Structure 1
Amino acid sequence: MKKIKIQNFPFTAILGQDDMKLALILNVIDPKIGGVLLTGQQGTGKSTAARSLVALLPEIEVYEGCPFQCNLEDPEKLCDYCKEKGEKKPEKTIKKPISFVNLPLGATEEMVIGSLDIERIIKEGKREFQPGLLAKANRGIMYIDEINLLPDHLVDILLDASASGINHIEREGISITHLSSFILVGSMNPEEGELRPQISDRLGLEIGIKAPIDPSIRAEITNRVIEFQDDPQKFIENYKLLQIKLKENIIFAKKNLSSIKISPKIYNFASELVIKFGLISQRTEITYLHCARAHAAFRNSTKIEKEDLKQALNLVFKYKLAHINPELNNDYLGTTFEELWHKIPKSFEDPTLYKGTDKEMMNTFKSSPDLEEKYRENPLNKENEDLPEVDDKDRKSQDRYSNFDSDEDFSHGFKASSKKTNVKKRIIDPDNLLFYRTEKPINLDVSPIFRYLKKKQKIVNYTGRGTRVRLNTKSKGRYIYAQKPRGKPHSIAFDASIKSHFINNTKAIQTVLQERSYNSNLAVNLNIDDIQEKINVVKAPISLYFIVDASASMRRTLDQTIKIIQSVHAEGYKKKDKISVISFQGKESTILQRPAVSFSVGLTELKNLEATSYTPLASALKKTLTMIQQEKIKGFNLPIIIILSDLGANISLKYPGLNATSSHEFQIISDELDEIANNIGKKQIMVIIMKPKKSWATRYLGIDQFSVERIQKSFLKNAAKIFEFDTYSPDTTIMTLKEIIEKGTENI
C-alpha cells in the first residue's frame, strides 16, 4: 500500500512565537541541548511547529533496509546489517528525509524499545530483534504530545536514550544495543498536570507558549492557516525561498558548531550565573553553554559573545526559575546577567575583585593574626575544648537564648523561686514550645514531641510510598509477566507461549524445528495449551471526587472544606492525581470541576459558593458515578468518593418535586440512596463520608434523625468509611482523611 505524503505547514510561515522557533532551531543545530518542552494551552501551534522542523533538516544517506538508519560516515558505529552491506562494494545507498516519530499516549514499552520478531520465530524458528520507535527515531525527531500524561517509566526510557544516544535492550532472552540519537520535542498543557522535577530537569529547554492577544496578529494567523488548507502546494511554494535560506543556515551552523571554542571566562560566567539563580543541577549550565554555542553558530560567529549568552538566558532559565519563584520576572534575569557580566571578565585579571556577598562567603573559614592573638590570651578550658567560650558580662540584662529578662530567680530554664517545686519528670506540650538555654540537667519526657512530629509528617504525605497504586492489567502498562489465560486471552505473550511450547514438548528443540507441520511452513506450531497471556503493570493515579454539601445546615463548614481539599490536592498534584468537585444545594447538584490535576477552577467556584436550603445528595452521587464511568474510558485510575455532608438528604432523585417533610417521604429518599450505595459497593469504589461534629442540641437540627441513620447504614454495609471531623481542628481532620486514603489504597 502506497504511503500518503503529508504536507506540513512551513516553519517560516509560523507567525510570532519567536522563543519557540529559536529553541527548536537551536536543538536542530545541537541535539546535545537535550530537547525542548513546549508548554501552553491547545491551539497555540506546538505540534505544528514540531512537525514543520522536518523540512529544515537535510536528507540522510543510509543503506536501503537498515532498521536503525545508521550514519555511513561513522563506520565504527554501524549495525551488523550495514557492516555486511559495506563489505559488498559497491552497495546501493538511498537518501531519505529524517524520521518524525509521533509517540502515542497508548504506547507500550515493547513499541518504544523494540521486542522479539514473533513472525520470524513462528515461520523460521529464528530469534530476531524487531526494532521499536527509538530505532526509527535515530537521526530524526521524536515528538511526544501531552508528555505529562505519558507513563513515567516510558518517559525515563526516552530521556535516557536522548541523553546517551543509545538504546540498550535486555529482555525476552535478547541483548542488543543500537544507536538512538534524536531531537526530543515534548508538548503539554500545564493545567492537565506538571512533569516530575526530575524529568523537567533533564529536558534542555522549556518554553511557555501563549496565544497572541493582538487582533491583527490573530487575523493574519487565521488567514495563513486557511490559505494552507485551501491549497497546501501553492502556500508552501510561497515560502520556498525562506525555507531554503533557513535550511542552508542550519546546515552551515551544524558544520561549524564544533569549531566554536568556549573560553574559561565563559565557563566561569555560566557557573556564577547558575549559582546566583540558586539552581543546583549541573545540567543547567551545560545546557546553557550548548545553547549559547548553537546560537553563535546560527549567527555564523566564530566565538560565543554576550548576545548569544543573553538569548540563551531566556531559553534556559526563564521558565525554570518561574517554577521556583513565580514572582521573578525578566527584569531580574537581565539585571543579574548584567551585574555578573561586568564583574566576571575583570575578575580573571584581578581575582580579588569579586569576593561575593557576606551571605555567599559565610561558609568560608579564614584566620587572621588578630584572632590568633586573642586565642593565645584566652585559651579554651581543657575540660571543654570542644565548646565555645561565652562572655557572661551582660547576662543579667538580657539572655540571648531566651525571651525573658534574666534575674536571680531564674536558673536559665525553669523558675526556681519556690522550694516546694520538685520537678522529677516534666511533660512538654509540643503545641506550645519555647526553647531557651538551660544550665541544669532536667529529666524531661520528650516522647510527646516525637509523636507530634510523626503526626505532622503524616499530614504532609498521605501515601508515604512516593508512587501511586500499582494495578495489574491486560491492556495498558508495562509487560512484567505472563500467565495462562482464563477464557479468551486479551493479549498473547508470544515469548512466554513459545517457551511454554518447548517446555511442554517432550522432544528436543532441534527435533521440533525439523519436524514442521506438512500443512504449513511454520517452524513452531503452538497448541492451545501453550498460549500465555500478558500481564502488565500500570501506576494508576487516584481520582478524588469531593461531594460538597452546600445546604444551610453545612454553611459554617465551607471554609474548612476548601482547606481540606487544598491540602489533599497539594500532595496528589505531584503524582498526577485528579480532583473533581460537585456541590449540592437547592433542588440540584452542580459540577464545579470535572476531574483534572489542577484545582484552580474548582477552588474559584468553591470560594464563590453560597449555602442555600435543601440537600439533593442522590443527584450529586449519580453525577459522580457518571463522571467515574467517563474517566474509566479514558484510562486507568482509582476513584475515591469523599462526601462532606451531615447526610440530611431531603430532595428525591426520582421525584424532583418531592421535598421530604414526613417519615414516608424521608423513607423514599433513604431507599434511593440505599440503591445508589449498593451500586457503588458492586463497583468496589471507595467511599469516605466526613460528617461535621455537632453538639447534641444541634446534631439533628433541620434534618431527619432516622433518615440519617438509615443512610449511614446503607453506606457502612458497602464498606464506606465514616468519621466526624472537628470544624475547629483542620490539621487533625486532614490527617485522618489522608490515613484513610492511604489504608484504602494499600489494600488494592
Structure 2
Amino acid sequence: MKSNSKTTYPFTAIVGQDRMKKTLILNAINPKIGGVLIRGEKGTAKSTAVRALANLLPRIEVVDGCMFCCNPHDKNEMCEECIKKTNNGEPETSHRNMRVVDLPVSATEDRVVGTLDIEHAIKKGEKRFEAGVLAKAHRSILYVDEINLLDDHIVDVLLDSAAMGVNTVEREGVSYSHPASFILIGTMNPEEGELRPQLLDRFGLCVDIEGIHEASARVDVIKRRVAYESDPEGFACQWKGSEADLRSSIMNAKELLPDVRISDDMLELIAQICIDMNVDGHRADITMMKTASTISALNGRIAVSEEDIREAAELVLSHRMRRKPFEEQSDNRDKLDETFEKHKEKQQENKEHKDNPQEDEEQTERSEHNGQNDDGSSDDGGGIPDSPSETTFETGETFQLKPMSAEHELKNRDGSGRRSKTRTNSKSGRYVKSAIPHEKTTDIAFDATFRAAAPNQLGREKDGKAIALHQSDIREKVREKKIGNTILFVVDASGSMGAQERMRSTKGAVLSLLIDAYQKRDRVGLVAFKGQNAELLLPPTSSVELANKYLKDLPTGGKTPLPHGLSKGYEIIQSEIKREPDTCPFIILISDGKANVSMQGGSAMEETKRIASQFKMDGIQSTVIDTETGAIKFGFARQISDALGAKYLKLEELKSDSIVDAVKYSIVG
C-alpha cells in the first residue's frame, strides 16, 4: 500500500457534481470572475474538488525570494521590493506549483491580513511585514471552508482583497500594501446559517449542490474512493489522461479568452435579464458578461451566444435574487425563459422593421397586454380552548423593526454576531482604547505605549534605539466586538391558542423576531408545549430559517402543560451555558399562562412559578408575551412574568412597535 500524503484525488474522478466542477474550471480560466461560493450538505466532495483543482493548473513563474511569489512579468502583480528589483534589471525567477491556502474559521484579522513588525520598526526604523494568509494566497487558490461561520469583518476583508487584488495593512500609523490576487473559493452548509446578502453579492458565482441520489452513481463513488485509498498513485495514473485533457482545455481557453467578443445585442440581453430578475446593483451584469465570455472560450468560440448567457445567468443570479428573509428560493427558469423569448421577439421585430417599417408600427399598436387578477379567500378556524384536535394556523403579519438603541453593561465574551457589544480578549475585536495590563500581554497598544514613554526619554539610555521602552510604559489594547444572542422561544401550542386566531398572531410576532435574529446573527431554538408535555422542536442553531420552518408547521391543540414548557426551556438554556459559557441566553415565553397540566401532580400554576423563579435566580433574561384576550382576564401570564423577572407584554401590543423594542432591549446582553 502506498502513501497518499502527496497524491491528490483527481478532479476528473469526482462522480457527478458537474455544476460545481464547471464553476471551479471557469474561475481557473478567468480569476476575474470573482470566485465561487459552493453551498451544500456535508460529504458532497466540496473540499476534494477544490484541492484537485490546483493540480489542473500550470506551474507559475515567480520572483526568487519574494514572500508573495510576485509575477516577474507584470508590475501590477508585484510588491514594492520586486518593483525595485525590476527597475534595477531582470530579477531572478523560478517556477512553483499552484497551491491551495486554507483559512481556518478561528483566524484573527492579523492572521488573515498579516501584521507589521513594530519591534523591528523601533530598533531599525524600517518597515517589516509579517505575511498573513492573503500574502500566501497571492496567485493561488484561497479556500475558506464554512465561510458563513467566519466573523463578518473577516469576510469583508477577504472579499475586498479579492475584488481589488491588493491587501493593505495599517497598524499604529504605519501602512503597508502588497498584491493579493487569488481565486477565492468558499464553501458552506446553509443549515449552519447564511451569509449576509451584501457578502453573497461579492462572490462571482454560486452553486447549490446535494448528495447523489442514484444508486449506481453512489456505487461508483464508493469504488473510486476505495481504489484511491488502497493505491493513491496507481489510481491517479488511471485518470492521468482525462486530467491532461482537461488541463489542456483550460489552457486553450485561457489563451482564447482575450479574443472573445460579445455583441451589443448580447450585452442588452444580459442587462434585461438582471432587470427582469429584480437584481440589485450592476455587479451581476458585469459578472455575467465575464462568465459568458469564459464559457464561450471553454467551448472554443470567440463569439458569445445566447446559450452561454443562459448558463452564466444560472450561476451568477442564484444568490443575488432579491428576497425577504425566510422567503423560499423560487425556481426562476420560467422567468428566464420569458426574458429570452422577449429578446427573440424583439430581434424578429427589429428585422421586420428594417424590411417593412409601416407593418412594424401597426404591430406595436397591437402589442398591449391585459392582466387579470384572481381573488382568493381562506377560512380560518377559531379553535376550541384545550381541544384535543389539532389545527395548523398560517403565520400572521410581520412587523417592521425599529433600530436597537439600548445597550447593557459590557462583559468579556467571545463569539460572533451583530447584536450585543461585548469586550473581548481576542484580537478579532475593534481597538477602542488602551489600559495598563494586569498580566503579560501580546496585544500591545503601541500608540499609547509610546505616549507613556515619551516624557521619560531624556533620562533613559537608548542603546542606539529610536525610543527606549520600560515595562511600566506598556499598554494593552481594549477591544470590543459584537456577538449574537442565544434566543429560545417557548411557545404555547395548546388548544386555547386557537381561539380568536391567537396562534396566527403569535406566529406573526415570532417571525418578526426571527427576522431580527436573522439580521443580528443570533442563534435561536424552539420549544413547544401542548397536550401532556413539551418538545424541543429545534435545538439552538444559527439557521433561523429552520426555526421558521418548524414554526410554520407547528399545530395547535390539547391542554396547557406550561410547567413542562418552562422546565424544558430551563434545561436547554443550562445545556447551552455549559457548552458555550460566553453565550448570552434569553428566553421568550408566549402563552396565556393558563397552566392545567402539572409535572408532579400538584398545582400546575405553582409549579410554573417555582420553575420561573429559577430563571430569575440564575439571571437568565426573559420576556413574556401574554396571549390572553377577552373581557374577563385572569392575569396568569403577568404572575409568571413577575416570577421570571421578565419584561411583560400583552397580545394586543403585538401590532405596535413597542413589543419589538421591548424584547430587543431585553436581549441586548
Q: TM-score range by the shorter chain?
A: 0.7 to 0.9
* Aligned amino acid, residue 607 of structure 1: L
Q: Is the 8 A contact 1:501 1:526 kept in 2?
A: no
Shift in Å, 1:744: 3.3
Contact in 2 for aligned 1:269/1:344 (Cα 8 Å): no
Q: Give, in angstroms, the shift of residue 280 of structure 1.
A: 4.2
> Is 1:481 matched with 2:428?
no
Residue 392 of structure 2: aligned partner: none
SS in 2 for 1:107: coil
Corresponding residue to 1:539 among 482, 487, 495: 482
CA contact (8 A) 2:485 2:667 kept: no
Query: For 2:660, which of 708, 727, 738 is the aligned residue?
Result: 738
Mark the CA change 1:282 to 1:60 in structure 2 (over 3 Å): closer, same or farther: same
1:512: which partner in 2? 462
**Residue type of the partner of 1:120?**
H
**Is contact 2:647-2:663 (8 Å) kept?**
no
SS of corresponding position for 2:294: helix
Q: Is the 8 A contact 2:462 2:468 kept in 1?
A: no
Give structure 2 stretches of 5+ with no counterpart. Answer: 370-396, 406-416
- With 316-325 and 66-75 compared, the bigger mean Cα shift is at 316-325
Counterparts of 2:362 and 2:81 in 1: how far apart (Å)?
59
Matched, 1:469 2:420: yes
Q: What amino acid maps onto 2:400 in structure 1?
A: V
Which stretches in structure 1 are left out of the alignment for 5+ residues? 363-456, 516-522
Q: Distance in 2 between matches of 1:693 and 1:51?
A: 58
1:584 equivalent in structure 2: 529
| Pairing of 1:170-185 with structure 2 (within 5 A) | 170-185=170-185
Cα distance in 2 for residues equivalent to 1:669 and 1:322:
44
CA contact (8 A) 1:36 1:186 kept: yes
1:452 is aligned to: none
> Displacement of 1:645 after TM fit?
3.1
Contact 2:122 2:467 in 1 (8 A): yes
Rounded to whole Å, the distance in 2 between the matches of 1:643 and 1:31 is 50
1:220 maps to what in 2? 220
The range that moved more, 34-43 or 142-151, is: 142-151
Question: Is 1:25 the counterpart of 2:25 in the alignment?
Answer: yes
Aligned AA for 2:649? Answer: F
Identity %: 31
Q: 2:350 aligns with which of 332, 347, 350?
A: 347
How many residue pairs match? The answer is 617
2:62 is the counterpart of 1:49: no
**Partner residue in 1 for 2:333:** 330
CA RMSD in angstroms, aligned pairs only: 3.8
- Report what 1:374 is aligned to: none
- Provide, for residues 22-78 of structure 1, a one-character-per-residue CA deviation record: whole Å limited to 9, x for no partner: 111111111111111112222222222222211111111222331222110114653
Name 2:615's counterpart in structure 1. 676
| Aligned residue type for 1:678 | M
- One-letter amino acid matched to 1:347: N
Deviation at 1:470, TM superposition (A): 3.0
> Which of 496, 505, 515 lines up with 1:570 in the alignment?
515
Give 1:640's aligned amino acid: F
2:644 counterpart residue number: 715
* 1:658-708 Cα deviation digits (max 9, x unpaired): 2214xxx976764454233211x2xxx4311122335575627xxxx7xx8
- Could you list the per-position Cα deviations for residues 267-315 of structure 1 after superposition, in whole angstroms to 9, with x for gaps in the alignment? 2332333334343422222111111111122122233234433332322
Q: Which residue of 1 aligns with 2:569?
A: 621
Distance 1:731 1:697 in 2: 21
Counterparts of 1:189 and 1:356, CA distance in 2: 51
Task: Give the 5 Å matches for 1:354-503.
Answer: 459-463=399-403, 468-475=419-426, 477-485=428-436, 487-488=438-439, 492-493=443-444, 495-496=446-447, 499=450, 502-503=453-454
What is the letter of the counterpart of residue 213 of structure 1?
Answer: H
Change (3 A) 1:101 1:584: same
Are the counterparts in 2 of residues 580 and 593 from structure 1 also a CA contact under 8 Å?
yes
Q: Quick one: structure 1 residues 696 and 620, their matched pair in 2 at CA, closer, same or farther if it must change by over 3 Å?
A: farther
Q: Which residue of 1 aligns with 2:152?
A: 152
TM-score normalised according to structure 2 size: 0.81
Change in CA separation of 1:560 and 1:205 when aligned onto 2, cut-off 3 Å: same
Match of 1:688 among 619, 623, 629: 623
Q: Secondary structure at the match of 1:514?
A: coil
3-state SS of paired residue (2:53): helix
SS in 1 for 2:295: helix
Contact 1:586-1:613 at 8 Å conserved across structures: yes
Normalised by the length of structure 1, the TM-score is 0.73
Structure 2 CA distance, aligned partners of 1:358 and 1:284? Answer: 34
Distance 1:214 1:670 in 2: 54
Go from structure 1 to structure 2 and tell me whether the alpha carbon gap of 1:172 and 1:527 turns closer, same or farther (over 3 Å shift): same
**SS in structure 1 of the partner of residue 515 of structure 2:** helix
Answer with 27-36 or 161-170: which moved more. Answer: 161-170
The residue number in structure 2 matching 1:548 is 491
Greater relative contact order (Cα < 8 A, sep 6+): 2
Report the secondary structure of 1:194's partner residue.
coil
- Measured after TM superposition, the shift of residue 592 of structure 1 is 0.9
Please say which structure displays the higher CA radius of gyration. 1
Take 1:482 and 1:85, find their aligned partners in 2: how far apart are those partners? 41
Residue type of the partner of 1:626?
Answer: Q
- Partner of residue 598, structure 1: 544
